[in-house]
Each structure stands twice: as C-alpha cells, then as structure tokens.
Amino acid sequence: MEGGVFSAHKPTYLLLLLHIFLLALLPFKAISSPKTQAEALVSWKNTFAPAPPSLSSWSLTNPNNLCNWTAIVCDQSSEQVSQIDLSNFDISATLTYFNFTPFLKLTQFNLSGNYFTGPIPSELGFCTNLTYLDLSSNSLEGPIPSPIGQLRKLQYLDLSYNSLNSSIPSELGFCTNLTHLALASNFLQGKIPPSIGQLRELQYLYLHMNSLDSSIPSELGLCTSLTYLDLTSNHLEGKIPPSIGQLRYIQHLDLSNNSLNSSIPSELGLCANLTYLALASNHLEGKIPSSIGQLRELKHLDLSYNSLNSSIPSELGLCTNLTYLALASNHLEGKIPPSIGQLRELQYLDLHMISLDSSIPSELGLCTSLTYLDLTSNHLEGKIPPSIGQLRYIQHLDLSNNSLNSSIPSELGFCFGLTYLDLSRNQLSGSIPLTLGNLAHIQSLDLSNNNLNGSFPTEIAFPLLGNFYLSHNNFTYNTFVGKSDLCRDARGLSRGCNSKKNNKKVIIGVLVPVCGLSVVATTIALILMFHKKTRRVLKKIHSAQNFENFESMILQEEVKFTFGEVVKAIDDFHEKYCIGRGGFGRVYKAELLSGQVVAVKRLNMSDSNDIPAINLQSFENEIRTLTNLRHRNIIQLYGFCSRRGCIFLLYEYLERGSLGKALYGVEGVTELGWATRVKVVKGLAHALSYLHHDCSPPIVHRDVTVNNVLLESDFEARLSDFGTARLISANSSNWTHIVGSFGYMAPELALTMRVTDKCDVYSFGVVALEVMMGRHPGDLLESQLSKSSQSMKEDNAELFLKDLLDQRLEAPSNELARAVVLVMSLALACICTRPGSRPTMLYVAQKLSARSLPSLPEPFGMLTINKLMGI
Ligand SMILES: *[C@@H]1O[C@H](CO)[C@@H](O)[C@H](O)[C@H]1NC(C)=O
Ligand SMILES: *[C@@H]1O[C@H](CO)[C@@H](O)[C@H](O)[C@H]1NC(C)=O
Ligand SMILES: *[C@@H]1O[C@H](CO)[C@@H](O)[C@H](O)[C@H]1NC(C)=O
Ligand SMILES: *[C@@H]1O[C@H](CO)[C@@H](O)[C@H](O)[C@H]1NC(C)=O
Ligand SMILES: *[C@@H]1O[C@H](CO)[C@@H](O)[C@H](O)[C@H]1NC(C)=O
Ligand SMILES: *[C@@H]1O[C@H](CO)[C@@H](O)[C@H](O)[C@H]1NC(C)=O
Ligand SMILES: *[C@@H]1O[C@H](CO)[C@@H](O)[C@H](O)[C@H]1NC(C)=O
Ligand SMILES: *[C@@H]1O[C@H](CO)[C@@H](O)[C@H](O)[C@H]1NC(C)=O
Ligand SMILES: *[C@@H]1O[C@H](CO)[C@@H](O)[C@H](O)[C@H]1NC(C)=O
Ligand SMILES: *[C@@H]1O[C@H](CO)[C@@H](O)[C@H](O)[C@H]1NC(C)=O
C-alpha cells in the first residue's frame, strides 16, 4: 500500500526528500537556540494585525525568559520550545511568516479559534516531533500540504472549519499513530484516499461537510479502531462497502446526506457496539437487513429519505435500547411490525410517507416513552388503537393523511402532554370525545377533513392553542353564535368567518377555547343578545356630542362620570392608552378629568343577528347585582355600555396589575415575601366567601386565576372579572356553556358541567398553591387527577413542603412558617378531586383569619405533603 502512495505522489515526495536532505545539512544546534526561537516568535508576532495585548510577554528585552512567555511551554532539559498554544487568542495573521526551522522539537502546536488566513506552509512537515496539531476554526485556504505525511508521530490532527480546498493527501496514510483526524467543514474535493486504511489506531474520523466525491474506499474497513465516523454532507456515491462490518468498535456511524445508492450491507449487523447509525438522505435501495436486529446497543437509527423498499423487519424490535427511530420517506410498504412494542425506550418515531398499509398495531401503546410520533401520509386504515392513551409522555402526534376510519378514542385524553395533534385527512367519524379537554398543553390541533359530527364540546378550552383546524367535517353548529375578530386565530374556521353563508355557524363554544377568551365571552354574548333584541336602555346618560348614542348602558348608581368622558379620556380608544390585550379584545386605562382612573375593557362583537332570545330580566338583574357588589377584596364593576357592536366593561383601575404579573414579573421575589403572599391568599378567600355566603342568591365567580386577582398598592387582593359570574339558582346551575381557565378548572366540571361553589373552591386552591410555590402546581394537580387520592398520598409521601415552596425565597420561620403551613394545608384540601371533600370558602376564610395559628406537628423542614394533607 505504501508503494501506491509513493507512485501517486512522486513529485511531491521527491521534493520533500530534497527538503529533508537539505535540512540535514543545516547546523541544527545553532538554529534552534532559545535566542533564535525567541527572535522567530517575535518577528512572527510583529506580523499580527494587531498583536493581542495578551502576548506582551513576547519581547526581545529578555530573551532568556522565553520559557515563561505566554502560550509557550519548554522542554525541561533542553529549555527549548516544545508547545505553542495560541488557541482562541483572536489573532489575525498568516502562517507564511512563521519560521518553522528553529522549532523542530515542537510536539504540540495549537492555533485553533483564530483568524489565520492563507495557506498551510509545507515547512510544517519539518516538525517531525509533532504529536498534536490543531489549526481548526480559522480561515486557512489552499491545499493540505502533502509533507504533512512526514509527521509520523502525529496522534491528533485537526484542520476542521477552514477553507481548505485540495483533495486529502494520500500521504496522511503514513501518520500511522493518528487516533484523531478531523478535516470537517472545508472544501475538500476528490476521494477519500485508500491509504486511510493504514491508520489502524484511528478512533475518530471527521470528514463531514466537504465536497468529497467518488465512493467510500473499502480500505476504511481496515481502520479497526474506529469508534466514531462522520462522512455526512459530502457527495459520496456508489455503495456502502461491506467491509464496514469490520469496524467492531464503531459506536457512531453517520453517512447521511450523500448520494450513496447501494443497499445497506447486512454486515452492518456485525458492528455490535453501534449506538448511533444514520444513513439518511441518500439513494439507498433494497431492504433494511434483518441483521440490524443484532445492534442491541443502538439508540439512534435514521434511515429516512432513501429509496428502501420491502417491509420493516420485525427484528427491529430486538434493538431495545432505541430511543430514536426514523424510517420516513421510503417505500417500505406493509405494516408496522407489532414487535415495535418492545421498544420501551423509544422517544422519537418517524414513519411518515413510507407507504405503510394495514392498521396501527395496538402494541404501539407499549412504547410508553414516546414523545414524538409521526405516521402521516401512509395508507394506514382501521382504527386509532385506544392503547394510544398509554403514551403518557407524547407531545407530538401526527396521524394525518391516512385512511383511518374509527372514531377518536376517548383514551387520547390521557396523553396529557400533547402540544401538537394532527388527525386531519382521514375518515374519522363520531363525535369529539370530551376527554380531549384534558389536553391542557395543546398548541396546535387539526381535526379537519374527516367525517366528525356532533358539535365541538363547549367545555373544551385550550389556553395555549395557536393553530386550530376543524373545517371539512360534518359538525352541527347548534349553539351560540358570534362572529368576531377572534375567528382570525382559528384558521380552520376562517372560511366560516368570511363567508356570509356560514358565519352564523361559528359557535361561541369554539371561539372561547380558541381565543383564550375564557372568561368574558359568555357575558358578552348575553349582553349582545340583550342589547340587540331589546334596545332597552336602563339608564341612559347624555352622551358626549362627538360620539354616537349608546345602544345600552348600565352604570352603578353613584358613578359620577359619563361614558362619553371615558371615551374622550382615551381619545376614542387610541392605541397609546391600551394597557393589555387578549383574545377577547383590549383593556384601556382612562384618566378622567376629575383625576379618577378607570379600566375599560373593549370587546369586539359585531354580528349578533342570530342570537336566540334569553331571559332578559334575569340578565338585567345579574348586571345590577354585579355592579352592586361591595367588598374590599372585590374589584368594582362600574358598569357596561355598548356602542357600534362593541361592548365595554368599566372597572376600577389598579396600578399594580394582576397577581400573576407580580408573581412572575421581575420584582416578584422582592415584593412578594411570605407575609404578603399569605395576605393575598387571605384576601382572596374573603372575597370568595363573601360571594358564596353573603350574597343572596350566592354568586359563583367561575374563573378564579392569578390573572383575575388584582393587587392594590398595599398588596390587598382584589378579585376581578365578573364577566361570567352566574347566579346560582336551582335552574341555572346546569350551565352547558362552561367557561373557565385551564389549569384552574375543577375536574368534575368537564364531566358533569355542573357549576357549583365548589368549583371556585378548587380554583382558589390552585391559586393559593401557585402563590406559595411561585409556579403553577400542574404536577400536583395532574398526579391527583390521574390517580386515586390514595396513590397520590403515596406518591407525595416523600415530598417535603420546603421543597415545594417558592425556592426564590428563604424558607419562612416562626409565626410565618405556621401561616404558610396553614395556607398550604387548606389549599391542598381545596384541590380534592371529590367536590364534597373540599371545604367551604367560609371555613377557609375563617381559618385564615383566626387569631392564633395552629402549631406545627413537626419541625418545618420535616413536614411532608402527606402530613399536610392529614392536618
Ligand atoms: C519563570 O517564572 C518563574 C516564576 O513565575 C521564575 O521562578 C523563573 O525563574 C522564571 N524563569 C525564567 C527562565 O525566567
Ligand atoms: C525529536 O525528539 C527527539 C526526542 O526528544 C529528539 O531526539 C529528536 O532530535 C527530535 N527531532 C528533531 C527533528 O528535533
Ligand atoms: C487546542 O485548543 C482548543 C481550545 O483551547 C482545545 O479545545 C483543543 O483541544 C486543543 N487541541 C489540542 C490538540 O490540544
Ligand atoms: C483553492 O482556492 C484557491 C484560493 O483560495 C484557488 O486559487 C485555487 O484555485 C483553489 N483550488 C481548487 C482546486 O479549487
Ligand atoms: C506510535 O506510538 C507508539 C506508542 O504510543 C510508539 O511506541 C511509537 O514509537 C509511535 N510511532 C511513531 C512513528 O512515533
Ligand atoms: C447536505 O449536503 C449539502 C452539500 O452536500 C449541504 O449543502 C446541505 O446543507 C446538507 N444538508 C443537510 C441537511 O445537512
Ligand atoms: C450508483 O451510482 C453510480 C454512479 O453514480 C452508478 O454508476 C451505478 O450504476 C449506481 N448503482 C445503482 C445500483 O444504481
Ligand atoms: C464493544 O466495546 C467494548 C468496550 O467498549 C468492548 O469490550 C467490546 O468487545 C466491544 N464489542 C465488540 C463486539 O467488539
Ligand atoms: C442498553 O442501555 C443500557 C444503559 O444505557 C445498558 O446498560 C445496556 O447494556 C444497553 N444494552 C441493552 C442490550 O440493553
Ligand atoms: C352528516 O350528518 C348528517 C346528519 O347526521 C347525515 O345525514 C350525513 O350523511 C352526514 N354526512 C356525511 C358526509 O357523513
């Protein structure tokens, strides 16, 4: 083999021989004294543009100090330079002016991470004692000089991330001690020299991101020490040499993004230590060899974007360590082998567009680690197996563009972590299961182009939903109507919004979840119905001349301003007064001439022709009740107005904003100490206790969240957003259009649709926990929901209270610790799954206001959640 190298590069090699011969004649001793080395370094440094200050020690004022210069290491005995490490010195220069001859003893030379330009000088070949050479991450150009083959002691060579544009010199094959060879990300052309097979010690070979072409030499199989081989993103063609099976120690093999067009050699199955195998984006043909099942250590397998045909070998199920499996975009046909269920570690499975037919095996449900599953664009038929509900960690599920024809299994609702769900372009029938309401994290939902019927369950609300497609189904739109800007967010419904024919079919039950307008929508609908049908004016106030007459208005008796004044104060809803916006519309801050400040919520609703009649008297009573509420912990609703199809709610304005803002804003920690947090929770408890127990009839707020609690300057809590509060009475408690915010909504609400004061108790519990924990207690709630309360106890047995509390604050002590423990134990009681087991708000408020706090059953640091739930 060496002979081959010689003949191929005879001229260069002879030249090199000549060099060495001439060098041999030179008086070495004289050349490589410390003095000549110092002079060579300084004159090189003088060509740096500019020389970095960190190299100030490089100076001829005291050349005897050479061994103490920055970046220089000397050989102990000879006191000559043995190592130069200028890595990451921000040097802009070339190697052209570096005189190599005084440095023939150099063993390490590191210029990585600078701005060196120009060629690599052939003289480098003189430094035959080099073991480590790193010129990576510069802008070196031109060829890799073939004299580099003289560096026989080289163990580590890194020329990656430069602009070298020659072929790889076959002389590299002489550097037989190389363990690490990196030439990645250059413009290297031509072939991988067969001489590479002489590098028997080579463990790491990085040639990715070049322009290498022709085929992979079968001699590569001789590099039997290889553990890591990366040839991605070149133009390699032809076959994968079967000799690759000789790489017994290889762990990482990546040949992706080339033009390889053979079949996958079954010899690959001999590389028993492979953990990472990627052959994606080539033109590979034939079958996936069943020998792949021998790769028991395999964690990552990517064969996507090839022309593989025949079926998926069931032996894949033997690779039980797989976490990533992608076979997408091939012609595999047939079925997903049931053996896939053995891949319990699998997190990522992409089988899109590989012509699969038959049905989805229910064994897929055994792959319980899955977070990503893509089966789109196959010919899968039959049903979505209910076992899919076992995929508790799944976040991305795409079954679109198949021929699935079952109904949507209600078990899908157990996939709590789903953020992306696409079932579009199938033949799914039946109605949407209520359990989809569990998918609190969903951001994109596409059910379009199926045969789904029924109505979209109104109790499903997705707070994070950004993309939502329902079109081309057989839904009946039998509930409320509303056409609004909100539709813009629901792209799937946009057809419905834009075409006159359909725009009455948009249900508010859909708008509510889509737009995150959980709260106010129902009231708005009610208000709209009210004003359109009756045009009844309860208390008409003379309007400012610039504005149209208001279509209806209710203002609290003692309010001293007119709506016209409000509109004037905010310059007819000028942007600059807008202090917040949401799916529902905008909030403006109006500073009236009198100095009073009010908040105006503007809700855009324009087309309400189709609203069914409602009990106007009861609605009127409701608004009156809300404006007449008086409690120090409840925000004042001054009134409402409507004008030009817009609804306005006038509220008291609080400078400090919401509890959520305080909790998660920049100043959250410093402002909200333990005492303040306890105070906030206490205030909220009193507000709810007042609504539930002091109002007649009682009022359920229905949407208690950290965003609906506002804070006064002294951190007194004020409950706001009474938009949806409904009077409880025997006949109105069965309220089919449930609104509420996910993460705060009592679990029974989704099942029974029955709104009771216990729903508020639950939401209060969540808010109280959130205030104390400094984050939403989602995990706690989930563990409680999905398990019996007994197992929750077991689960949380070892969970210490101190670990649950907001870690940004120091743990409370003494009196405060007792107050915090009381709040936490009450909050935990409030989130009981069984509504009947939750305390009343009256009880909670009284407990929190009691003169003496209960003493701790154990030292604060020892208290577990379990213990707390028993208190
Ligand atoms: C290098 O510096 C050390 C102390 O930092 C000193 O002891 C030593 O003498 C110096 N060597 C030379 C050659 O100046
Ligand atoms: C390389 O190092 C060895 C041992 O340190 C030394 O004997 C030899 O002279 C060096 N080679 C050159 C070219 O300086
Ligand atoms: C060169 O320096 C870089 C940066 O400090 C380092 O990561 C690299 O390992 C060094 N190369 C060698 C061969 O030591
Ligand atoms: C390599 O790049 C240099 C300039 O950087 C250019 O002159 C030379 O022609 C290029 N060689 C090849 C083989 O492309
Ligand atoms: C290669 O390395 C081995 C052991 O590390 C050493 O004995 C041998 O001399 C080296 N070969 C060359 C050419 O330096
Ligand atoms: C594939 O390789 C080509 C060059 O051969 C490169 O331009 C492209 O970015 C690579 N694609 C990927 C996904 O790495
Ligand atoms: C693979 O590609 C090479 C060169 O592009 C071509 O000669 C050969 O016929 C191809 N082989 C197959 C099986 O397509
Ligand atoms: C796999 O690697 C381990 C050490 O990492 C080694 O002991 C074992 O022999 C290798 N397996 C094979 C088949 O060579
Ligand atoms: C799988 O991985 C685990 C841990 O990463 C390892 O202990 C085990 O040997 C691997 N191989 C098989 C066949 O499970
Ligand atoms: C849509 O639903 C109606 C009423 O349930 C039914 O008659 C019709 O066949 C359905 N259309 C399709 C395409 O399923």
Ligand 7 in contact with 166 (CB < 6 A)? no
| Mean pLDDT along residues 498-522 | 30
More reliable by pLDDT, 305 or 788 = 305
Q: 118: burial class by Cβ within 10 Å (0-12, 13-18, 19+)?
A: middle
pLDDT at 1: 37
| Res 609: pLDDT | 29
Q: Which of 848, 702, 669 is nearest to 775 (CA)?
A: 669
Whether residue 310 has pLDDT greater than 80: yes
The per-residue pLDDT for range 665-702, each reduced to its tens digit, is 776 667 889 999 999 999 999 999 998 988 877 888 87
Ligand 7 midpoint to CA 332 (Å) = 21
Starting at the earlier edge strand, list the strands of the sheet with 163-164: 92-94, 115-118, 139-142, 163-164
Q: Residue 22 CB: number of other CB atoms within 10 A?
A: 9
Residue 552 has a pLDDT of: 57
- Token pair of 91 as six digits: 């040097």
CA–CA gap between residue 59 and residue 38 (Å, rounded): 8
Q: How much is the pTM?
A: 0.63
R_g over Cα of the chain: 37
Please answer whether residues 471 and 493 qualify as being in contact, where contact means their C-beta atoms are separated by less than 8 angstroms. Answer: yes
Looking at residue 749, its amino acid is L
Q: What percent of the chain has pLDDT over 70?
A: 76
Give the model confidence (pLDDT) of 624-672 as tens digits: 677 778 888 988 888 777 666 566 778 888 888 888 888 887 766 678 8
User: What's the confidence (pLDDT) of residue 31?
Assistant: 61
Distance 302 CA to ligand 6 centre (A): 16
Distance 352 CA to ligand 10 centre (A): 30
3-state secondary structure of 461: coil
Q: What is the pLDDT of residue 367?
A: 96
CA-based nearest residue to 286, from 266, 314, 252, 310? 310
Q: List the domains of the chain with CATH numbers.
A: 381-475 (3.80.10.10), 552-652 (3.30.200.20), 657-788+798-869 (1.10.510.10)
The answer to the question of whether 299 is labelled as a binding residue is: no
User: Which bound ligand lies closest to the C-alpha atom of 102?
Assistant: 2
Ligand 4 pocket test, candidate residues 144, 165, 189, most atoms within 8 A of CB: 165
Q: Is the pLDDT higher at 359 or at 614?
A: 359
Q: Is 410 in the pocket of ligand 4 (CB under 6 A)?
A: no
**pLDDT at residue number 333:** 86
Half-sphere exposure of 691 (CA within 13 A, CB side): 31
Which of 150-154, 310-314, 518-522, 546-550 comes out lowest in average pLDDT? 518-522
Element (H, E) at 869: helix 865-870
**Highest mean pLDDT: which of 63-67, 528-532, 758-762?**
758-762
**Given this model, what pLDDT does residue 518 score?**
32
What atom of ligand 2 comes closest to residue 105's alpha carbon?
Answer: 14
User: Would you state the pLDDT for residue 645?
Assistant: 58
Closest residue by Cα to atom 11, ligand 10, is: 474
Instruction: Indicate the pLDDT class of residue 784, thresholds 50, 70 and 90.
Output: low
- Per-residue model confidence (pLDDT) at position 209: 98
Q: What is the 3-state secondary structure (H, E, C) of 311-376?
A: CCCHHHHHCCCCCEEECCCCECCCCCCHHHHHCCCCCEEECCCCCCCCECCHHHHHCCCCCEEECC
Q: Which of 600, 615, 623 is nearest to 554 (CA)?
A: 623
What is the mean pLDDT of the segment spanning 698-727? 78
Instruction: Kindly tell me if the per-residue pLDDT of 563 is higher than 90.
Output: no
Cα(262) to centroid(ligand 7), Å: 8
Active-site residue, selected from the candidate residues 134, 374, 703, 757: 703
Range 104-127 average pLDDT: 95
Mean pLDDT of all residues in the chain? 80
Instruction: Kindly state if the Cβ of 345 falls inside 6 Å of ligand 7.
Output: no
- In the residue annotation, 703 being an active-site residue is answered as yes
Closest-CA residue, ligand 1 atom 13, reads 65
229 C-alpha to ligand 6 centroid (Å): 17
Q: E-assigned strands of 613-693?
A: 637-643, 646-652
* Torsion angles phi and psi, residue 643, rounded to 5: -160, 135
Q: Token pair 């010899």 is at which residue?
A: 267
Probe ligand 5: pick from 133, 177, 198, max atoms within 8 Å of CB?
177
User: b/e map of 317-331 (b: 16 or more CB within 10 Å)?
Assistant: bbbeebbbbbbbbbe
d(CA 871, CA 865) in angstroms, rounded, equals 10
- What DSSP string describes 141-179? EEPPPGGGGG-TT--EEE--SSEE-SBPPGGGGG-TT-S
Select from 74, 129, 130, 154 the residue to mutate for testing ligand 2; criterion: most ligand atoms less than 8 Å from CB: 129
Q: What is the mean pLDDT of residues 239-263?
A: 97
Query: Of all protein residues, whose CA lies closest to atom 4 belonging to ligand 3?
Result: 87
Q: Is the peptide bond before 50 cis (omega within 30 degrees of 0)?
A: yes
Q: Number of H helices and number of E strands within the chain?
A: 20, 39
Lowest mean pLDDT among 92-101, 177-186, 581-590: 581-590
> Among 462, 430, 425, which residue's Cα sits nearest to residue 447?
425
- In the predicted structure, residue 2 carries a pLDDT above the cut 60: no
With a 6 Å cutoff on the Cβ, whether 296 touches ligand 8 is: no
Question: Whose alpha carbon is nearest atom 8 of ligand 9?
Answer: 297
- 671 CB burial (10 A radius; 0-12, 13-18, 19+): middle
- Per the DSSP assignment, residues forming a β-bridge with 133 are 109, 157
**Average pLDDT of the residues in 158-166:** 97
Structure tokens at 805: 């509390």
How far is residue 43's CA from residue 96's CA, in Å, rounded to a whole number?
A: 12
What pLDDT was estimated at residue 514? Answer: 32
Positive or negative: CA dihedral 358, 359, 362, 367: positive
Q: Starting from the CA of residue 227, give the closest ligand.
A: 8
Atom of ligand 4 nearest to the CA of 166: 13
Using the atom order of ligand 8, give the atom closest to the CA of residue 248: 14
DSSP structure class, residue 361: P
**Chain CA centroid to CA 99, Å:** 52
Q: Are 794 and 783 in contact (CB under 8 A)?
A: no
Q: Does residue 237 have its Cβ closer than 6 Å to ligand 7?
A: yes
Q: Looking at per-residue confidence, does 507 or 656 come out higher?
A: 656
Query: Max Cα separation, the chain?
Result: 113
Determine if ligand 3 sits within 6 Å of the CB of residue 204: no
Mean pLDDT across 726-737: 35
Q: What percent of the chain has pLDDT over 90?
A: 50
Q: Given the CA of residue 429, which atom of ligand 10 is nearest to it?
A: 14
Q: Which atom of ligand 9 is nearest to the CA of 297?
A: 11
pLDDT band, residue 512 (cuts 50/70/90): very low
Cα 499 to Cα 115, 184, 296, 449, 502: the distances in Å are: 61, 56, 57, 19, 6
Span from the CA of 234 to the centroid of ligand 6 (angstroms):
8
Residue found under tokens 């006064």: 712
Instruction: Quote the strand ranges of 520-577, DSSP E.
Output: 552-555
Cβ pair 479, 509 in contact under 8 A: yes
Handedness of CA 406, 412, 418, 419 (dihedral sign): positive
**Alpha-carbon span 116 to 96, nearest angstrom:** 10
